[in-house]
Structure 1
Amino acid sequence: MSRLRRSLVRVLMVLVFLVPTVLVVMYASNPFGVRSMDPRQRVLGHGLYRVPSSSMLPGIVPGQVLVTRAGYYTRHAPQRGDVVSLLPPEREGDVWLQRIVGLPGETVGIIEGRVYIDGVALEEPYVARENVRTDYALTFAPVRVPEGHYFMMGDNRDNSLDSRLQSMTRREDITGKVVARLR
């Protein structure tokens, strides 16, 4: 029995020192390429995001908790329609949630509330027509998305501070892809 107890104590001692050491090394080495200091994102590759605003209504509501896959875009190209977390350079320390609408090299414009990509209307089932009433949601002069940038918009077009009102999002400022909704 004492041999079993000694073996168990050894295993526990190894775990007490090994697990924290591995976690610290993973945090420091940042294997997922995350720009966040959040240990969940740096060690596990996923983070939680509580939606603070109504900019993504009706599909994503304030207070809802989303799971983001941190560092996803270090290995994958961002795609139109992806809902992503991002770090807006104009708002140091904030994390925002928006949808990718325009890709590098494309021309994005809005006519009568419909988004056009290179002159072709974009199908957007996630946008509620009652959220497209303000002038800047109804009309937006066509702009070309520069290389390395993305045109982002909130689904609630009347209530979203996005690429229509500020600079377009650099690829390196996109921090994660929304992969699940918890509630």
Structure 2
Amino acid sequence: MNFALILFVLVIVTGIIWCLDHFWLKKRRPADARDPWWVEYGASFFPVILVVFCLRSFVAEPFKIPSGSMIPTLHVGDFILVNKYAYGVRLPVINKKIIEVGSPQRGDVMVFRYPENPSLDYIKRVVGLPGDRIAYLNKRLSINGVEVPVRPLDDFLDKDRLTYVPRYAETLGNVEHQILVEPESPEAPAFIRQVAPFPFRENCLYNAEGVVCEVPAGHYFMMGDNRDNSRDSRFWGFVPDENIVGRAFFIWFNFNDLQRIGAFH
């Protein structure tokens, strides 16, 4: 269900009630008469709903992380805030950009509407910008022919599977962040399995080592930090600019681990 659309409808309905009461109904009621219930509730809720709608649409929007595709950066159950104006001011509901502010950069953690089902919001890391040549071969990432630098860290404990996974520090642009990359195995092969048809599919070449893609204009190549447990642009293609929601920047709560509250890269 589109919560932005629900809020928009509530703003319109309560706004109409407030205007009717303020400019017409109130003048016709006796001074000692009680407001009808629908006027009392509608008019009183209007300013609250309007403020929430504006903050959520133009400043910051909360999300909850539902999967482990961004581990170790984001964990299941993290409640995050997303900056809604970092990549331009967009009209709510239809998501049309009206004011240019900035554009996604390599290394940003971005929320976007899933290209295969725009009613769903996804979160991944920006890896490829328009015009980039992205290669993910033998589990190593290269951008425009230059291998992205990584350095090994201590292994990460996957509490769900009770196994340790190799962890690395990767540098994309000016951002250093952590990724998980499992050794090649039948369960975690280098080649990409179950690739879906997608726009600009002809820009990608798949082989036994992985995939090489040319990012089309106005699109972005996204990957999860949990590289072997993330369905991302390697599987379903590029994210168009009109699908962008905003840049994730802060964990504001996690019921299972209060120490996770704070900013992240």
Verify same fold: TM over 0.5.
yes
2:111 maps to 85
Structure with the bigger RCO (C-alpha within 8 Å, sep 6+) is: 1
**Is 1:128 the equivalent of 2:188?**
no
Deviation string 1:92-126 (CA, Å, 9 cap, x unpaired) is 31111100000100100112211000110113242
Change (3 A) 1:92 1:78: closer
Following superposition of structure 1 onto structure 2, how do residues 17-166 of structure 1 map, counting pairs within 5 Å? 20=46, 24=50, 40-42=55-57, 45-74=59-88, 75-123=101-149, 124=170, 125-130=177-182, 133-136=188-191, 139-166=209-236
Measure how far apart 1:70 and its partner are.
Answer: 1.3
Q: Is the 8 A contact 1:153 1:163 kept in 2?
A: yes
In 1, distance between residues paired with 2:217 and 2:118?
23
In the other structure, the counterpart of 1:172 is: 242
1:84–1:131 CA distance, 2 compared to 1 (3 A): farther
| Aligned mates of 1:22, 1:50 — CA distance in 2 | 23
In the superposition, relative to structure 1, how do residues 72 and 142 fare at CA in structure 2: closer, same or farther (>3 Å)?
same
Structure 2 distance, partners of 1:112, 1:70, is 36
Alpha-carbon distance, 1:136 to partner: 3.5
Counting matched residue pairs gives 156
Question: What 5-or-longer segments of structure 2 have no aligned partner?
Answer: 1-42, 89-100, 150-169, 171-176, 193-207, 255-265
Alpha carbon RMSD of aligned pairs, Å? Answer: 2.7
Q: Which has the larger radius of gyration?
A: 2
Letter in 1 for 2:61: G
Q: Is the contact between residue 215 and residue 238 of structure 2 (CA under 8 Å) also seen in structure 1?
A: yes
Amino acid at match of 1:87: R
Report SS of the residue matched to 2:119: coil
Percent identity reads 32
Deviations 1:30-69 (A, max 9, x none): xxxxxxxx664226x1011110001001121111111101
Q: 2:110 touches 2:245 (CA, 8 Å); kept in 1?
A: yes
Matched letter for residue 130 of structure 1: E
TM-score, scaled relative to structure 2: 0.53
Distance 1:85 1:160, change over 3 A: same
**Shift in alpha-carbon separation, 1:71–1:119, aligned structure 2, 3 A:** same
TM-score, scaled to structure 1: 0.74
User: Any stretches of 5+ residues in structure 1 without a counterpart?
Assistant: 1-16, 28-37
Q: Distance in 2 between matches of 1:129 and 1:157?
A: 6
